[in-house]
Amino acid sequence: MVGSVAFAQREDTYNRARVVVRFTEGNEPGNPAGDGLVEYMRARRYERVAYIERVYAFDVGRELGEERREVAARWPGVEFAEFDFIGHVASLPPTDANWCEQWAFENRGQTVNGTSGTATKDICAIKGWSARTDASSVTIAILDTGVNWQHPDLIDNMWVNPGEIAGNGIDDDNNGYVDDVNGVGVEDDLYDPSFCFDSGNIHPFPEGNPQDIRPACEAFCNYNVPAVDHGYHGTPIAAVIGAKGDNGNQVAGTAWRASMMAIRMISCDVTFNLSSAAKAFQYASANGAKIASCSWEPIFEYSASLELVFKQVRDDGIIVVLCAGNTNTNLDASPPPSFRYPHAFTFANIVVVMGTDQSGSKWGPSSYGATSVDIAAPSINIRTLDNQLVTPAQPVYEGGTSFAAPMVAAACGLVWAEHPTWTYSQVISKILNSGTYDSGLSTYCATGRRLNLAAALGATCPSCRPPVTNCYGSCP
């Protein structure tokens, strides 16, 4: 299966060249039934899928995919056979230089990126920060395109693998990954050099065409430092979660102190599949992550193997925060939209976040669902960091539900750090029930609420906001 972050969708959400098979117990490869299927499939490559039991993926080629899937589904000792998916990637104020433009944290009605806001339509961060700014005791995994972890606003808030020695080219902790100091790259080898991601679309160009950007793309994709961002998605998300706050530098994160684990599971053409998702969650779980921030579009049809992955994540006690997506789709429509997974899985550890604008209303392109979506958070003109591999990332404006979800993920981290003995259910309940109720959101998400960081941390959100002309003022 291949999935994506919150970008534009492709027409086909299946990789019809790759068949995913789950065997019944005792019939996987190494046993007669499994070995017989391996021989029949004649796959160019096959592998056991990490994290879930008895699931294998076979690369058989598109021309044989349908036939092989149909035969595998009827094979003795096979529980199910399906195509892989194609997923696509959605106190006092701090002293950070661009704080005044971070309206999502404190909306005074200021104009940001040419748009005026409505005072109080924010997540009430300042009063929340008076209660807690430090979530570093709770590791938050960012399952995305990687993170430019060397940025001075991020490096101190990155998770550090205590068993790995940086830069020695050795797998010191024997976990199968070399130099996975701040995270890991687990993306499957999906990159097709005849395509390159450009401005949200996949564009094929013939060789020699002036618009052929394959050479640059190949160099970009081969910048293979573990966990480094080779897209443009993971770094700004990391900054929303945990850019170091109150240090006079660029922007502040929702948590000023954090432990962010960068898991690059999105390939260079900005897609991912079952294997990369399973490896990502397995790595997160094995290394103690308690929250996973996943800014993925709900573009999958039902997948039994993906459900197994999410069931295992639930069993491991990890909160998964998903963005609702950017296609203005009602995920609860009847008949339901075909592409609504993993968001439609009903596991209690999943939180789905829609987006709001600077006036507090539903952000136009945000997908929604009075049952499928749990809570809202700001999602447009979000001041964060871009991704630059050579020079330090600079502040930019980003938009999309991809940037609402990490606010909620970071809020979960702060609440869990405040209440370290709580279960994930208690953390989620606090986040959802403490949000600011807005009747205008009640038809779009189950709670009708926007994230309220102050209330989630037991503080009271003031009804006033400082004057627009006083960025560093405070309310009583």
- Which domains does the chain show, CATH number per domain? 2-87 (3.30.70), 99-456 (3.40.50.200)
Of the pLDDT bands very low, low, confident and very high (cuts 50, 70, 90), residue 231 is: low
Of the pLDDT bands very low, low, confident and very high (cuts 50, 70, 90), residue 249 is: confident
Nearest-CA neighbor of 276 among 173, 370, 143?
143
4 touches 87 (CB < 8 A) = yes
What separation in angstroms does the CA of 328 have from each of 117, 337, 364, 365, 368? 21, 12, 7, 5, 7
Measured on CA atoms in the order 109, 113, 114, 115, is the torsion positive or negative? negative
Burial of 96 (0-12, 13-18, 19+ CB in 10 A): buried
Q: pLDDT tens, 203-230?
A: 344 444 444 444 444 444 444 455 566 5
What separation in angstroms does the CA of 255 have from each of 46, 115, 126, 313, 357? 41, 26, 11, 24, 21
Nearest-CA neighbor of 145 among 242, 264, 292?
264
Q: What is the pTM of this model?
A: 0.86
Segment 295-303 shows an average pLDDT of 84
Note every long-range contact of 67-76, with CB atoms under 8 Å and residues 24 or more positions apart, other chains counting.
68/19, 68/40, 68/41, 69/19, 71/40, 72/19, 72/21, 72/37, 72/40, 72/41, 75/33, 75/36, 75/37, 75/40, 76/27, 76/33
For residues 104-135, one letter each, b for 16 or more C-beta atoms within 10 angstroms of the residue's C-beta and e for the rest, the string is bbbbbbbebeeeebebbbbbbbbbbbebbbbb
| Tokens matching residue 419 | 């209440």
For position 199, what pLDDT does the model report?
Answer: 35
210: CB partners within 8 A, 6+ apart: none
Apex 369 CA angle, 368 and 371, nearest 5: 150
Q: pLDDT tens, 117-161?
A: 998 899 999 999 999 999 999 999 999 988 988 888 999 999 999
Q: pLDDT tens, 364-419?
A: 999 999 999 999 999 999 998 877 654 555 678 889 999 999 999 999 999 999 99
